[in-house]
Structure 1
Amino acid sequence: MSDARVEQLLNDINLVNPERHELVMAARRVIYKGVKQATERVMYGGFMFAAPNDFCGVFVYAEHISIEFGRGCDLQDEWQVLEGKGKLRRHIKIHSLDEIKSKHLADYVRQAFANANG
């Protein structure tokens, strides 16, 4: 699942910001639980997930992590948590472990996977 570049980026994040590292690890668990065959690679300074087509990415910022969906415009936003006004992309900002569940990340990941690989 993971390669040396992924491990290095995870280590770097942990050194710089352990709180963001904890959020990244929790988001990765949700992604792998929902899409067992997912693979990840470092891309655009974050983690890109595919199975086999790209379906989401996880990126670290100073105050939050962001789960990015390249075709987020196609997701059903039942809980109104998707952000972004671009033509295609949408994202979910995660500031705390509680938000991974309260913002229904697992549902959006499953939708994105199904849309990308349907």
Structure 2
Amino acid sequence: MARPPDPRLLEYLAPYDPLIAGVALALREVVLEEAPEAIESLVNGYAVAIGFSFTGKPMKDGFCHVVTYKNCVNLGFNRGALLADAEGILEGSGKMIRHLRINNHDDLYRPVVRRFLRAAIEQVGGPSQRVSVKGGKPATRRISSPR
């Protein structure tokens, strides 16, 4: 396990189908394996989202986000439209954000998951962009409270 999930994240995921919640937690671990220094920012609204950055500013400096919906989990890339994707694997038509839809645990093992994650981390300059965190440990922030 990369690091234990924040208890609030477990609370936010409790109402979801255990399979979907498990996929979300496993995807979180994949992200943290690739970016152990990442700071997580939690949002609980119409979906549960985890934004990942090295600065604690997921909107400005984030490289990816995990969003849990009723029937799937998306791995979103904040600057996904700028990622090399000759095969057209990434979904989305917005100006910048693209995502991979993760339907089950098997999808986590697709090589493109880590390939896109590594490329997104490179886009933001990697952990060198990290701000000083108390005690030198990565943090989890809540930027939105449950409704």
Is the Cα contact below 8 Å between 1:81 and 1:92 reproduced in 2? yes
Task: Name the one with the larger helix percent.
Answer: 1
Which residues of 2 match residues 64-75 of structure 1 at below 5 A? 64-75=72-83
Q: Which has the higher contact order (CA 8 A, sep 6+)?
A: 2
Whether 1:47 and 2:47 are equivalent positions in the alignment is no
Q: TM-score if structure 1 supplies the norm length? A: 0.84
Gaps of 5+ in 2: 56-60, 127-147
Q: For the Cα contact (< 8 Å) 2:16–2:70, is it kept in 1?
A: no
Are residue 94 (structure 1) and residue 133 (structure 2) matched? no
Aligned length: 116
Aligned to 1:37: 37
**How far apart, CA to CA, are the structure 2 residues paired with 1:107 and 1:69?**
12
Q: Which moved more, 1:85-94 or 1:99-108?
A: 99-108
Relative to the length of structure 2, the TM-score reads 0.69
Mapping for residues 102-117 of structure 1, pairs under 5 Å = 102=110, 104-117=112-125
Structure of higher CA gyration radius: 2
The percent of aligned pairs where both chains have the same amino acid is 26
When residues 106 and 72 of structure 1 are mapped into structure 2, their CA distance, relative to the original with a 3 A threshold, is: same
Gaps (5+ residues) in structure 1? none
